[in-house]
Structure 1
Amino acid sequence: MSNSLNVFEFEDYRVFLKTYLSDEANQASGARKRLLLSTGISSSLLTQILSEAKQLSTEQAYEIALHIGFTEKETDYFLNLVEIGRAGSVKLKERLRKKMLEMQNESQQISAQVNRNIILTEEQKVLYYSNWLYTAIRNLIATPYGKSIQTLADKLGVPESKVEGVVQFLLESNLVTRGAESFDHKPGYTHLDASHPMILRHHQNWRQRAVHRMDHYKENHFHYTCPMAISNEAAKVLRASLLDQIKSLNATLQNHPEEPETAFCLNIDFFEY
């Protein structure tokens, strides 16, 4: 999906699909053909849907959401737009539109602003987010340090046997692949919703690593702590600004397709104490 295309800004799913399919990058890559092949929708039916002669079924809408790579919240929102289009009474439309507005407000939550296009099973999530090594090794495989088990172990200072177990899981979960001479990183994002049971462990893992790395400080590292006394309004503005920065960071990363050379971690905390 285009970095600038936000499904929460649309109140009609057909307008969203028209915008999505008319995007220059999507047109160049044959997005319409790929969407039809992926979802099983015929070209004539899609034309009728976009011209408002027919409606998507819920099942077809879900297949489109999977194809585009929506987050869970984006998927729920898109399905709700389809239900609004299909609703046969004014009362039902009003109820669904109220839900739509609530979801638009919720979209400012961080989980709705991070683009995720790799879906893990619940069992895979539990293991993948249980220890910092899984995300660390997956990222390092994209760099020169990821050429072998030994280079990964040397970089991270952990036993080769531990690295081997992690890499085996990554291979089995299709998060990395095995090339002719080394491992290959599979592009894409994974993400946990704020309500997921593993989110606390994931945050704790990388904050503990941040504390550990403070004892190995380098000039290209950055640690910043700022307790403050501010108004409630200022807190709202600052939080919104941080969310915008996260969106900008993700866009920046996608706009720099150079080969990765190293791996960094960014932790952001903003809380009332």
Structure 2
Amino acid sequence: MKTVFEFKDYKAYLKNCISQMPRAGRGARVAMAKAISSPVSHVSQILNATSHLSMEQAEAVNAFLDHTEDESDFFLLLVQFSRSGTQALKKRLQKQMQQAIEKRLVLKESLGVKAEISKEDQALFYSSWLYGAVHVMTSIPQFQTRQAIAEYLNVSPKRIAEVLEFLESKALVLSSKNGYEIGKNRIHLGSDSPMISKFHTNWRMKAVQAFEKEQISSNLHYSSVISISENDREKIKVLLVKYIDNIKNIIRDSKEEGVHCFSIDFFNI
């Protein structure tokens, strides 16, 4: 899927966006007209004739397309470039667009070097369940676009775009012609990390949400309060550790078809 940074003309970009929307963009012009507070006929004139978006309308399109900050800035530059009336201004805007593109290229080149994920980046990654979920979902073919991920998780495309932008900046995901795919970098949280509590809490909360939703037959939830001997407690713990190892072996060789949460709790009260 092409990004705004791959276009030199904002109208061509908008037509491409519309063609990628559900039902081949049917109704998209009406929705865009509503977003920019303009008649549908004006949207058609913008896309197919000499009319242009105003800068205010361009900003409204940013919101309509759920652009990230960088995408929004570049889209505004494209609109300004098309609206500009002198070669001097066009040259200045073209320079700014080239600088934005080069900045992204430098970032992508730097991602070829496998680097340690900083503590600050780890803190952001583990601040929400969303980062881990989106990261894993990019390994599944049907979830390698913003829209597909956003619809499945019921999260706004703009928020998903922000998460993907962060993951891409850390080489955790890579952009491709069809969207995104999981990157070579990996992130692991040690059991002694101060963020481990937040990580477990995030996914236990998702478990509660899953339980409170309409019951899905493929889901499995089990809780029990028990009284046992210390000797049997250790036996159960050993069995659970072996069970986890077996599950990991299955996961490692499994084809990526769906995203699931697997968690186990066994603790003293």
In the superposition, the TM-score normalised over structure 1's length comes to 0.54
Relative to 1, partners in 2 of residues 1:270 and 1:161: Cα closer, same or farther, differing over 3 Å? same
> Residue in 1 aligned with 2:220?
222
1:148 to 2:145 alignment: yes
- The offset of 1:199, in angstroms, is 0.5
Deviations 1:131-151 (A, max 9, x none): 000000111111234221111
Query: What SS does structure 1 have at the residue aligned with 2:123?
Result: helix
> Residue in 1 aligned with 2:247?
249
- The offset of 1:118, in angstroms, is 8.8
Given that 1:118 and 1:189 are in contact with CA atoms closer than 8 Å, whether structure 2 keeps it comes out as no
1:121 to 2:124 alignment: no
- Write the distance in 2 (CA, Å) between the matches of 1:118 and 1:263: 26
Relative to 1, partners in 2 of residues 1:146 and 1:244: Cα closer, same or farther, differing over 3 Å? same
> Residue in 2 aligned with 1:270?
266
- Write the distance in 2 (CA, Å) between the matches of 1:233 and 1:189: 37
Given that 1:153 and 1:160 are in contact with CA atoms closer than 8 Å, whether structure 2 keeps it comes out as yes
Deviations 1:98-146 (A, max 9, x none): xxxxxxxxxxxxxxxxxxx995221211011110000001111112342
Counterpart amino acid of 1:218?
Answer: I
> Which of 229, 232, 242 in structure 2 is aligned with 1:231?
229
Deviations 1:194-213 (A, max 9, x none): 22111000000001001101
Query: What SS does structure 1 have at the residue aligned with 2:166?
Result: helix
Given that 2:172 and 2:186 are in contact with CA atoms closer than 8 Å, whether structure 1 keeps it comes out as no
- Write the distance in 2 (CA, Å) between the matches of 1:172 and 1:187: 12
The structure 1 segments of at least 4 consecutive aligned residues displaced by more than 6 Å after TM superposition are: none
- The offset of 1:157, in angstroms, is 0.5
> Which of 185, 189, 192 in structure 2 is aligned with 1:192?
189
Relative to 1, partners in 2 of residues 1:251 and 1:189: Cα closer, same or farther, differing over 3 Å? farther
- Write the distance in 1 (CA, Å) between the matches of 2:142 and 2:135: 11
1:163 to 2:179 alignment: no
> Residue in 1 aligned with 2:131?
134
**1:6-17 → structure 2 map (5 Å cutoff):** none
Counterpart amino acid of 1:126?
Answer: A
- Write the distance in 2 (CA, Å) between the matches of 1:119 and 1:241: 33
**Structure 1 spans left out of the alignment, 5+ residues:** 1-116
> Residue in 2 aligned with 1:204?
201
1:213 to 2:210 alignment: yes
Deviations 1:202-260 (A, max 9, x none): 0000010011011132111000112110000101111111111111111111233x2x1
- Write the distance in 1 (CA, Å) between the matches of 2:116 and 2:175: 20
- The offset of 1:269, in angstroms, is 0.5
Relative to 1, partners in 2 of residues 1:118 and 1:192: Cα closer, same or farther, differing over 3 Å? farther
Higher Rg of the two aligned structures: 2
Q: Indicate the RMSD between aligned Cα atoms, in angstroms.
A: 1.8
Given that 1:171 and 1:177 are in contact with CA atoms closer than 8 Å, whether structure 2 keeps it comes out as yes
Aligned residues: 155
Relative to 1, partners in 2 of residues 1:122 and 1:135: Cα closer, same or farther, differing over 3 Å? same
- The offset of 1:187, in angstroms, is 5.6
Given that 1:141 and 1:185 are in contact with CA atoms closer than 8 Å, whether structure 2 keeps it comes out as yes
- Write the distance in 1 (CA, Å) between the matches of 2:262 and 2:185: 17
Given that 2:150 and 2:157 are in contact with CA atoms closer than 8 Å, whether structure 1 keeps it comes out as yes
